[in-house]
Each structure stands twice: as structure tokens, then as C-alpha cells.
Structure 1
Amino acid sequence: MKYDWVLFDADETLFHFDSFGGMKLMFERFGVNFTRDDYDAYQLVNKPLWVDYQDGKITADELKIIRFEGWATKLGITPFELNSAFLEAMADICTLLPGAKELLDALSGNAKLGIITNGFTELQAIRLERTGLSDYFEHVVISEEVGVAKPDLGIFDHAHQLMGLPCKTKILMVGDNPHSDVLGGINFGIETCWLNTQGVQTPAGIHPHYEVNSLEQLRMTLFA
């Protein structure tokens, strides 16, 4: 194994993140039939907020409030309550990506493992526990707790400090987002792997050290 540490993104890298399924389940619990059109309208608000969050223009709390303000008013609850209900629903439907468990089993004992995620604290521990992954990871670094999100170098530096400052040439960052995971890792000076399950074109100016279409392909690549 070339690496002493392998760091993973969480959503759509280790875990499926079916946000429509989570929203539908959450709203069912409130007695609301949440449609695909409702979801599309929600995403018009939500997606730009995540870009602003990754760019450091808004905080995690602001993201939670703004994205659910409209629905919270309709339901007569606070945006924070609705956000918690959504994260609870996402935990309830959480599944692993194909090959995730096999990859982690192969890496265990050969490298130390960590997670760096821009997701919210409320979801991470329960999801790791329910999928049986809690014991695999030395550190779980969450942007909401650190105060900056990937691709900001601050979150990578925070993780590096927790890891005991290992040589950067011995660290691999794996993620599905070419901007936050790959470019963030490259800018920090570590090697990167882009999990490109959709087969889309690499964005201009971003050059991951590896590009794979599945976690199984990554496993074969690392242990070739």
C-alpha cells in the first residue's frame, strides 16, 4: 500500500445521499405529500446555498435556516426543527455505496482511515453506527464543527493536525466532488482520487491523481 492514510468524503462517496427520498419520508411524517415538483423548487434554493457554504459566504446554521424557511412557516415549526427531521429521515434511509464495506475491510490494517465531510454533525455519527462503520475511522472531521468547509485548506489542515502531521505524500483523499474533494486535496498538497460514478467530464483545471467509476475499481487500483 502506497498510503499511510486514506481520507474519504461521506455523501455519495461512502453513503448514498437520496435527498428526495429523505424529504419525501420527512414530509410524510408531517402529513404532507411531497412531490418531485416540490423537490425541484426546494433545490433551486438549496443548491446555491451549498455553494455559498463551501465558499465560506454563509454558515452551517444559516444554510439550515434559509433552505427550510418557507416550509417551516407552512408547517408552523422552526427551520431548525425541520432540518433535524430531515437529517433523521436521511439516517433512516441511509445505505452504503456498492463496494464501500469491501474497500474499508481491505484498507483496514494497511492504512489509517478518516472522513472529511461538509455534511452536518447530526447525521454523521448515527449513520456510521447504523451502517457498522464507526470502528473503521480514526477521525471524522465535520465542517460544521471546524467552522470551514472543503475546499478550504483550513479543514484539511485541521484533519492533518489530528492525524499527527503525517507526510503529505502518504495521504490520499477520496471523494465524488471534483471541486471540494479533489481540488481541495490538491491545493493542500495531498494525492486525490475522484470517484466519478456518473462518468462526467473532468472539470477544466482539475487533475486528480486517480479517477475511478466505483469503489471496487479503487480497491483494485490501490492493491494492484
Structure 2
Amino acid sequence: MDYKWVLFDADETLFHFDNFSGLKKLFERYGVNFTQADFESYQMVNKPLWVDYQNGAITAAELQTKRFTQWANKLSVSAKKLNSEFLDCMAEICEPLAGAKELLISLQKKNIKVGIITNGFAALQKVRLERTGFDSHISLLVISELVGIAKPHRDIFQYAFEKMETPNKNQVLMVGDTLESDILGGNNFGFDTCWLNSNSKQAEHIIPTYEVSTLSELEEILNPSN
């Protein structure tokens, strides 16, 4: 397929998102040895909040503060401050996925425009793009926190589509690691989709156009003559 646009998710699609290391780094500032058990307790709060956020039940600001409420009470620090420091820590440890930079360079050479549609937060996304140099390859950055709508909701894809100046939908590919947001959202909007399935999970009800385990495999799909 001759794609004119490739849209990527950010976390675990272009960038590693090591929650545990980021949290460990955060709590070291407060003299806390953040353990795996602590992380599991955090995720019991965090994961349902992300589901609520994607479903439009809570705002980005509510997610970011509620996930740190328990720790804020323990440490007598505001949840907002903890969240801000956590995003700083995540930016500091940010690493691109293997093959990400090479893929972006390849797409640029082929005059394929690159966009990002992420449910992540603005404070982290912009810093990561600058630090990795990826910002020079990105023609479109859509952040759910700023738009007020999260994937898989149709309206965030409509927002991106209009920013792209409404290209032929058949010439747009949405790439992401999460079936329930990236692939479902892309499918429902009429884009082709590619699931970056690095953990060999099973797709049951949400079926992507393509499935790859690495970004190098995706590059082969987009550059079949190479």
C-alpha cells in the first residue's frame, strides 16, 4: 500500500515506557525504596484510571493526580507535584525502541509524513521528542490531554485527520501497541492499522490490518522493494 501518512502511538511504540524505573527514580528523591510490591499496588490504582480516561469518564488532570493520592498522603506532598516529578523522571530515562529512529528516517526519505497520536501527557511527550531528535521527523503531534479526548474515541482521530488536511483514509496507517486504543480507534475511523505486538499476545476481537513484533518488520512492509 502506498501510504502518505503513518501515525504512531508514543509509549511502547516509538519509546520505551518503563513505569517501574521512573517511579523508583521518583521516590528515591523522597528516601523511599520503591519495591515491586509497591509498583503492583500502584498499578492496581493506575490501570483502572487509564481505562476510565480512555472511556472519557475522567480527565487527564484527574488521572494524573488520583494515581498519586495515596503516596501524596504518605509523603505529605501534593499529588500534582508527584505527578510532575514523575513525568520529569520518565523524560530523563526515555529511550527509543529499537529501529524507531531508522524507521522515521526511512519514512522521511520516502516523503511519507509522520504523526503521533498519544494518550500520554504533554509535559513528557514534547521533552522526549526534543531529547531524541525525533521532533525533526514529526509533521503532526496530537496529545489527548490537549485535545480533551483520548483514543479510541473517534473525535481524536477526526481532529488528527483535519490537521492532516483530510488525506485519503486508504493512504493512512495507524501504528500502536495497544489493541483497545490504537488499533480499535484506527479501525473504526477507517485507517489501516498495524499492531506492534512485541509480547506475542493474541488478538481476539480487534483485528489489525498488519501485525509485527518489531519496528524493523514494519519498515519491511512499508519498503517492500528494499
TM-score, normalised with respect to structure 1: 0.98
C-alpha deviation, 1:205, in angstroms: 2.1
Task: Output one character per residue of 1:135-180: Cα deviation in whole Å (capped at 9) or x when no partner.
Answer: 1101110000011100000100000111111111110000000110
C-alpha deviation, 1:221, in angstroms: 1.3
Q: How does 1:101-112 map to 2 (within 5 A)?
A: 101-110=101-110, 111-112=112-113
Whole-angstrom distance in 2 between the partners of 1:149 and 1:109: 31
Question: What code does the residue aligned with 1:23 have?
Answer: L
SS in 1 for 2:133: coil
1:23 aligns with 2:23: yes
Question: What code does the residue aligned with 2:168 have?
Answer: C
Q: How does 1:60-209 map to 2 (within 5 A)?
A: 60-110=60-110, 111-202=112-203, 204-209=204-209
Whole-angstrom distance in 2 between the partners of 1:11 and 1:86: 15
Question: What code does the residue aligned with 1:124 have?
Answer: Q
Partner of 2:213: 213
SS in 2 for 1:211: strand
Task: Output one character per residue of 1:193-214: Cα deviation in whole Å (capped at 9) or x when no partner.
Answer: 0000001111x22111100000
SS in 1 for 2:68: helix
C-alpha deviation, 1:109, in angstroms: 3.3
Partner of 1:7: 7
Question: What code does the residue aligned with 1:145 have?
Answer: L
C-alpha deviation, 1:217, in angstroms: 0.5
C-alpha deviation, 1:57, in angstroms: 0.8
SS in 2 for 1:194: strand
Question: What code does the residue aligned with 2:36 have?
Answer: R
Whole-angstrom distance in 2 between the partners of 1:127 and 1:76: 29
Whole-angstrom distance in 1 between the partners of 2:87 and 2:206: 31
Question: What code does the residue aligned with 2:14 have?
Answer: L
Whole-angstrom distance in 2 between the partners of 1:198 and 1:2: 28
TM-score, normalised with respect to structure 2: 0.97
Q: Between Structure 1 and Structure 2, how many residues are aligned?
A: 223
Whole-angstrom distance in 1 between the partners of 2:30 and 2:122: 23
Whole-angstrom distance in 2 between the partners of 1:64 and 1:183: 24
Question: What code does the residue aligned with 2:192 have?
Answer: E
SS in 2 for 1:114: strand
Please provide the CA RMSD for this pair. Answer: 0.8
Whole-angstrom distance in 1 between the partners of 2:125 and 2:215: 20
SS in 1 for 2:84: helix
SS in 2 for 1:95: coil
Whole-angstrom distance in 2 between the partners of 1:25 and 1:201: 33
Question: What code does the residue aligned with 1:151 have?
Answer: P
Whole-angstrom distance in 2 between the partners of 1:133 and 1:29: 29
Whole-angstrom distance in 2 between the partners of 1:44 and 1:143: 23
C-alpha deviation, 1:75, in angstroms: 1.5
Q: How does 1:34-49 map to 2 (within 5 A)?
A: 34-49=34-49
Partner of 1:58: 58
